[in-house]
């Protein structure tokens, strides 16, 4: 993901992404976020989870944060240090949406293979295959 998108997520959702630049032995957030095309999916999910974190008693907030956000088998994967049924339901919705959203540009996409499984639109698939 572009640096400006990465920085915007971290700045806007400081509780959720507090470990973004932390110790890699404690969190996989050090590796950042997947492609630009999923920025809005991640943003919308982050907004909802940040609200949940802020609704918790102050002494519980520090425990709840993202531990990894990545692409795996062509879809978004979003892992939390501590979660709940409500958060897991929101994550499931976002991961499902990523199955039909191009991870590079954000347009409608589908799962593509070719050594690596990715969710791409037709245009981004052509770019990917001709690299």
Most confident of 24-33, 34-43, 114-123: 34-43
- Report pLDDT digits (tens) over 39-97: 999 999 999 999 999 999 999 999 999 999 999 999 999 999 999 999 999 999 999 99
Angle (CA) 8-34-126 rounded to 5° is 120
Mean pLDDT computed over every residue of the chain: 95
- E strand or H helix at 92, and its extent? helix 85-98
Query: Strand 110-112 to strand 118-120: parallel, antiparallel, or no bridges (unpaired)?
Result: antiparallel
> What does the domain layout of the chain look like in residue ranges?
3-98
- At residue 114, the pLDDT reads 77
């Amino acid at each position: 993901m572009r640096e400006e998108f990465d920085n915007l997520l971290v700045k806007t959702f400081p509780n959720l992404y507090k470990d973004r630049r932390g110790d890699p032995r404690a969190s996989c957030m050090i590796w950042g976020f997947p492609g630009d095309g999923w920025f809005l999916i991640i943003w919308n999910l982050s907004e909802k989870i940040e609200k949940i974190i802020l609704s918790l008693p102050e002494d519980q907030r520090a425990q709840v944060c993202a531990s990894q956000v990545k692409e795996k088998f062509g879809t978004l994967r979003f892992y939390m240090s501590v979660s709940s049924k409500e958060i897991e339901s929101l994550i499931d919705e976002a991961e499902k949406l990523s199955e039909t959203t191009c991870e590079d540009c954000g347009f409608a996409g589908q799962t593509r293979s070719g050594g690596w499984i990715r969710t791409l639109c037709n245009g981004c698939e052509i770019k990917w295959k001709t690299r």
